[in-house]
Amino acid sequence: MITVEDIQKYRAYLGYLNKKLGEIFEEQSPYIFCKAGCSSCCEKGEFPFTEIEFAYLMLGVQSLDKKTLSKIEENMQKIKTDKKQCTDKKFLHACPFLINKKCSLYDYRGIICRSHGVAFFSKDKKLLVPACVDEGLNYSNVYDFEKQIISDEKYRLSGIKQEPLAHNVGVHYLTKNEMTEAIGLDFGEIKPMCEWFITEI
């Protein structure tokens, strides 16, 4: 059960996190091709959300107009039907809050939505780049597609001063670290977004 106090702590943490992520995106800007109108990262995924992130997203829903709400509900129903028919191990879908290629709950979006786009370390310490590299987007200017790694040679030839660096911005780290512990912020269970809303509709 998420309390008002939990939401206050989460908001305070988001203030800290937005600043930190802003600095990382700025540092990695030669490799970032995110721009208005691109919603590639919201179009296909599992979107892992913790309990508190989903509760905050639902707070945002209260501020939406009827037309937007009805579109979201329609999107959720479709996802629910598709999930029943899915035989793959992982069920990937478009985020139901994505409307006309824009996030309808931008200020309330989750941590994965805020951190996605920069190179990161996985839970098992592998250096990964965002999937949109395959669409010629983030890190594609220094990526070796055959070996599936950032290429030192391409970096040298690019003439870019700033190195392409991975940061500790995996969702598991960002939801449990020294800062969350210092402010006593417990994110609760983490699961794919659709598992949260399928129980709600």
Residues engaged in binding ligand SF4 (CB under 6 A): 42, 47, 95, 97-98, 103, 105, 109-110, 113
- Nearer CB in complex with ligand SF4: 109/167: 109
Name which of 20 and 154 has its Cβ closer to ligand SF4. Answer: 20
Calculate the CA 105 to chain-centre distance: 13
User: In angstroms, what is the minimal distance from the CB of 135 to ligand SF4?
Assistant: 16
Q: Which is nearer to ligand SF4, 101 or 156 (CB)?
A: 101
Residues with Cβ < 8 Å from 75, sequence gap 6 or more? Answer: 94, 96, 97, 98, 99
Neighbours of 54 (CB within 10 A): 22
**Minimum distance from CB of 176 to ligand SF4 (Å)?**
20
- The helix or strand, by DSSP H or E, that contains position 1, with its residue range, turns out to be none
Q: Closest separation between CB of residue 54 and ligand SF4, Å? A: 10
Q: Which is nearer to ligand SF4, 95 or 132 (CB)?
A: 95
Rounded alpha-carbon distances, angstroms, from residue 122 to 128, 130, 135, 170, 172: 7, 11, 21, 6, 9
User: What's the closest the beta carbon of residue 178 comes to ligand SF4, in angstroms?
Assistant: 25
CA 189, CA 183: separation in Å to the nearest integer? 18
